Structure 1
Amino acid sequence: MAVDTRVTTAVERRSAAGRRRGSASRTRNAVLPVVVFVGLIGVGYLIALYYDKVRELPFLVPYPHLVLKAIVAEPAFRPQLLEALGNTALIAVIGLAIAIVLGIAWAVLMVQAKWIESALFPYAVVLQCIPILALVPLIGSLFGYEMPSRIIVTVLFALFPMVANTLFGLQSVDKGQRELFQLQGASRWTTLTKLRFPAALPSIFIGLRNSAGLSVIGAIVADQFFQRGQGGLGVLISVMNQRLNGAEMFAAIVVASVFGVLVFVLFGWLGRLAIGRWFDFN
């Protein structure tokens, strides 16, 4: 009986120590980003002070509080910022949706046979390696300089992670499980939907999260070059730069960065919500 009590006490102590370590780790993970953020703000003030007092070019690098003021307290600028954010979000969502469909279809086609993968995967790599900005003039000439061209550039940015991660997930199925499905006479469709896709879900969601972040970047980059029609954050950044409105330009950059981070975090959360109970999804 005494031995059982000692064992129980030791287990409780280890459990309490584990909880303390977990609490300390969560506190550290929450505090460290805040410390780094405060340091970056301090660096921003030093750089702005240099350009203001030494270079006498205060419009190039504004003080951080002026950037914050432009975001939340400039009645003339805030509607432009919100409209540009909405346009960028629309392009990013449409481009991401197209990239998801094309990427998954491409990967499913390649997983059907090795010769199909050998024939098609090099083109996925080529797509990733091509400097997309070099294609901008061609895309503009073929499709115009408005919304369709913006969507195409966004798709080009977001497509490869979906193709590569989906293909990796579909191919990661255990060989023994595949052979079991073959012994049971399962069709290709049954094997794909009942075996390959469930096993590939973690990789698919990782690709989706990466593609979501890249779709925001693609939408902003496309905006910089295709400035006709309804402009997004890229157009707003260019306009504010041309007008030498440093605070408003940096405000648009900050909003674009925060939007990209939020999209990345959102799809990570969706991945954990969808498959977190079955897979360790980080």
Structure 2
Amino acid sequence: MTATVASSSLQGEIRRESRRATLRALGSSVLTLVLTLVAVLVMWQGSIWAFGLSPYIAKGPVQVWEHLFVDDDAAENLSTLMALLGETLVDAGIGFVAGLALALATASAFQLSKGLEHALMPLALLLRSVPLIAFAPVIIMIFGREAATTAVMGAIVVLFPALVNIAYGLKSASPQMNDVVAVYGGGPATALRKVALPSSLPAFFAAVRISAPGAITGALLAQWLATGRGIGGAIGGYVSSAQFSDVWAAVVVVTLVSLVLYNLVLIVENTVLARMGMHPEKRV
């Protein structure tokens, strides 16, 4: 009876400590998001003042706010920008999912076959160093000026950084845990599923954090160079017609969305890792 009570008390204390760790991680992530947004606003307005930029070209936070929420045509400006943003996010989402899924599948294949890794990882590292703008003409020539081009560019931006991160994370599994799987008759696939994938969670989340803004960048580039859709396609028209308030509003919205997505992933990451007992210093 005493042992049962002690065990129940211990389990309760573990659950309470897990909840406290989760709340601490969540609070830290939200604070990071707020401080990041404040820092961006300060640097934005401070740069305009420091460099003495013309108010005709450079718009500060107040001017952008008025353009989207105060001016007589603010509702129309905001509606147009949100429609463009929706197109960009759809294109970025397709590239993000495709690139991350391919990176996870390829990294898992590398974990199961060292020969495949030795053959293809140098190529992946080489391609990672090539700017996307260098791929763009070839991709446009193959896929045309269609939505497929946007998806491919977004996937390329996501694929190579995510592949390197996840492949590294899969190698972080404890050799002793792999030995336990082998002792109980498990093969490489079982070790991958039971040991390597859970151990790679920090690296996986790091890849997702990098990939979310990267997918938006790839979508913007594809829209600008190929499809003419979304915010990427609209910015060129805004610049050529000197609609600088629209240019700044578009840049601000894209930047804000990227920051929010990055920090949302960080919040999920901190919460999940805290519940699993993984500490920040163990992240990739």
**Fold conserved between structures, TM > 0.5:** yes
Partner of 1:55: none
Separation in 2, partners of 1:51, 1:107: 49
TM-score when scaled to structure 2? 0.79
Q: Quick check: 1:244 aligned with 2:239?
A: no
Deviates more, 1:37-46 or 1:147-156: 37-46
Separation in 2, partners of 1:109, 1:90:
29
- 1:46 Cα shift? 5.6
Specify the alignment match of 1:145 in structure 2: 145
CA distance in 1, matches of 2:223, 2:192: 38
**Amino acid of the residue matched to residue 110 of structure 1?**
F
- CA distance in 1 between partners of 2:36 and 2:92 (Å): 31
Q: CA deviation at 1:161?
A: 2.3
Match in the other structure for 1:107 = 107
Which residue is equivalent to 1:227? 227
- SS of match in other structure, 2:214: helix
- The code of the aligned residue for 1:137 comes to P
Alignment of 1:149-160 (within 5 A): 149-160=149-160
Aligned positions, number? 248
Provide the rounded CA distance (Å) in 1 between the counterparts of 2:149 and 2:35.
Answer: 42
Equivalents in 2 of 1:96, 1:35: separation in Å? 27
Please list, as runs of the form range in 1=range in 2, the aligned pairs for 1:38-117 lying within 5 A after superposition. 38=42, 40-45=44-49, 47=51, 50-52=53-55, 58=56, 60-73=57-70, 74-117=74-117
Could you tell me how far 1:82 is from its partner in structure 2?
Answer: 0.5
Question: Greater CA radius of gyration, 1 or 2?
Answer: 1
Alpha-carbon offset, residue 175 of structure 1 = 1.6
Structure 1 pair 167–263 and aligned structure 2 pair: CA distance change class (3 A): same
In structure 2, relative to structure 1, the CA distance for the partners of 1:31 and 1:118 (3 Å cut) is: closer
Show the counterpart of 1:259: 257
Secondary structure at the counterpart of residue 244 of structure 1? coil
The farther-off stretch of 109-118 and 60-69 is 60-69
Compute the displacement of 1:162 (Å). Answer: 1.7
Aligned to 2:170: 170
Change (3 A) 1:66 1:273: same
Counterpart Cα distance in 2 of 1:209 and 1:36: 18
| TM-score normalized with structure 1 length | 0.80
Shift of the 255–117 alpha-carbon distance from structure 1 to 2, 3 Å rule, reads same
Cα contact 1:127–1:156 (8 A) shared by 2? no
Answer yes or no: is the 8 Å Cα contact 2:210–2:262 preserved in 1.
yes
Q: Structure 1 residues 40, 186: CA separation in 2 closer, same or farther (over 3 Å shift)?
A: same
Q: CA deviation at 1:31?
A: 6.8
Tell me if 1:37 matches 2:36.
Answer: no
Q: Which structure has more RCO (C-alpha within 8 Å, separation ≥ 6)?
A: 2
Instruction: Name the counterpart of 1:280.
Output: 279
Q: CA deviation at 1:253?
A: 0.5
What is the Cα-based RMSD across aligned positions, in Å?
Answer: 2.4
Give, in angstroms, the shift of residue 50 of structure 1. 4.4
> CA separation in 2, counterparts of 1:112 and 1:170?
10
Structure 1 alignment gaps of length 5 or more: 1-21, 53-57
Structure 2 unaligned segments of length 5 or more: list them: 1-23
Q: Is the 8 A contact 2:88 2:231 kept in 1?
A: yes
CA distance in 2, matches of 1:98, 1:168: 20
Provide closer, same or farther for how the CA distance between residues 204 and 250 of structure 1 changes in structure 2, counting only shifts above 3 A.
same
